[in-house]
Amino acid sequence: MTATPDPRKQFVRQVLNQAQTLGLSQPAEGEADAPVNIALCKYWGKRDPVLNLPVNSSLSISLPGFGTTTRLLWRPDSDVTGLQRLTLNGTPISPEDPVFQRLAAFLALFPAADQGRFDIDTHNQVPTAAGLASSASGFAALVKVMNQAFGWELSQEKCSLLARLGSGSASRSLYDGFAIWHQGLRADGLDSYATALPQVWPSLCVGLVEVDTSQKSIGSTAGMQQTVSDCDLYQAWPKQAQKALSTLQLALETQDFATLGKTAEHNALSMHATMIATWPPILYWQPQSVAAMQTVWQLRADGVGVYFTMDAGPNLKLLFEEQDRPAVEQAFGNLTILRPFARA
C-alpha cells in the first residue's frame, strides 16, 4: 500500500516552487517578528480543515509592538533532523508539550526539516490582558524568519499562504494595519491569503477588557468545527460575514467610525450566536463579559462612540477614537489601551 501524500506538504512545495532548493547546504539563521491581530470581521469555520481554508473572508487590525519575535538556527551538518530545541520567553519547551509538537509538525511540512535541525527561540510580547492569541503572530513570525534565513524571497502574499497552514488567523499577521484574508475559491488553497489595506486610522484605540485569561474549555479550532457541523444557524453566517466585510471596507474608505464599530460588534455577536446555537452549546461569555457589554451600550446611549468585539473567549476588545478615551477610561477603570497606528 502506498502512503497518501500529505496535501499540506504538496501545498508547501507548490508555494516554495524553485525557492526550496536554495540555501540548503549552508547553515541558516535569522530573526523576525510579527504582530497579533484582532478581527473586525471574524474567521469562523473551515471549508477545508486540512489546508485551513475558511468559509468566509475576514478583516483585521494588527497591533504593532505586540506579537512574537522568533530567532531561528538551522544546521544541515547534524545527525538529527526537524525541530530539536524550542524556547518560549527564554524557557525550554519539552518535546512532549503540545506547543512543541504543533510547531514541529508545522516545520515538518518544509523540505528543510528532512535535511537538518531547527533550533528556535521565540518571545511573545502579548499583553496578558484579554488573552490575545499568540498563535497568529507566532506562525507569521516563523514563516517570516524562514523566508529570510533560507533566502526564499517569497512575497508577503506567499508568506501569508504558508502562515495560514499553521493557524488561519496567522495569514493576517504578516501585515501592520488593516488586512483582509481572502477566503479564496480554489480547492488547492493557493488563492486563500491575506493582503494589506492602505487605510490608516491614527485616532483608533483598542481597549483590552480582561475578564478571564485562563485556559478556555474549548479551543477555537474545535469550537468552529463543531459550529460548522452541528449548528442550524450557521448557514446564515457566511452571508452575514460577506455583508460585514463590504460594509467595513466602505467604512475604512470613508473613515466612518460609527459604521466601523457597529459592524464589528454586530459581526462578533453574530459569530457568538452561531456558537450558542450549537449542541452542546459553546458559550465563552461570563457574567462580567455581559456586564462589560452593558457598560458599552450605556456609554453609547450617553453619546460615547465605543463598540466592542470578542473572540473565542470571555474578554472584550473595545474600539473607540482618541477623543472618547477619557470617557471610556472612566467607565472601565483599569484598561490596557493600544494604538494600532501610533507610529503611523
CA–CA gap between residue 147 and residue 25 (Å, rounded) = 16
Q: Are 129 and 208 in contact (CB under 8 A)?
A: yes
Close Cβ partners of 294 (under 8 Å, ≥ 6 residues apart): none
Cβ proximity to ligand 2P0, 68 vs 167, nearer residue = 167
Least Cβ distance, residue 211 to ligand 2P0 (angstroms): 15
CA–CA gap between residue 243 and residue 56 (Å, rounded) = 11
Least Cβ distance, residue 40 to ligand 2P0 (angstroms): 9
Close Cβ partners of 177 (under 8 Å, ≥ 6 residues apart): 61, 62, 196, 197, 199, 200, 340, 341, 344
Least Cβ distance, residue 171 to ligand 2P0 (angstroms): 8
Least Cβ distance, residue 153 to ligand 2P0 (angstroms): 26
Cβ proximity to ligand 2P0, 204 vs 304, nearer residue = 204
Cβ proximity to ligand 2P0, 44 vs 320, nearer residue = 44
Residue nearest ligand 2P0, CB atom distance: 168
Cβ proximity to ligand 2P0, 148 vs 274, nearer residue = 274
Least Cβ distance, residue 336 to ligand 2P0 (angstroms): 18
> Which residues here bind ligand 2P0, judged by CB under 6 A?
39, 42-44, 52, 58, 133, 135, 167-169, 220-221, 311-312
Least Cβ distance, residue 90 to ligand 2P0 (angstroms): 24
CA–CA gap between residue 139 and residue 297 (Å, rounded) = 36
Cβ proximity to ligand 2P0, 133 vs 146, nearer residue = 133
Q: Read off the amino acid at residue 211.
A: V
Q: Which residues pair with 82 in a beta bridge?
A: 117
Q: What cell does 24 get?
A: 540548503
Least Cβ distance, residue 47 to ligand 2P0 (angstroms): 12
Buried b (16+ CB within 10 A) or exposed e, 194-214: bebbeeebeebbbbbbbbebe
Cβ proximity to ligand 2P0, 145 vs 163, nearer residue = 163
Least Cβ distance, residue 225 to ligand 2P0 (angstroms): 8
Of the candidates 50, 44, 317, the one whose C-alpha atom is nearest the C-alpha of residue 204 is 317
Q: Read off the amino acid at residue 300.
A: R
Q: Are 307 and 297 in contact (CB under 8 A)?
A: no
Q: Read off the amino acid at residue 206.
A: V
How many Cα atoms sit within 13 Å of 307 on the Cβ side?
18
Cβ proximity to ligand 2P0, 115 vs 286, nearer residue = 286
Cβ proximity to ligand 2P0, 61 vs 296, nearer residue = 61
- Bridging pattern class, strands 117-124 and 82-88: parallel
Long-range contacts of 254-261 (CB under 8 A, 24+ apart): 255/199, 255/201, 257/305, 257/321, 258/305, 260/40, 260/307, 260/319, 261/305, 261/306, 261/307, 261/319, 261/320
Determine the straight-line distance between the first and last CA of the chain, rounded to whole angstroms: 57
Cβ proximity to ligand 2P0, 180 vs 205, nearer residue = 180
Least Cβ distance, residue 221 to ligand 2P0 (angstroms): 3
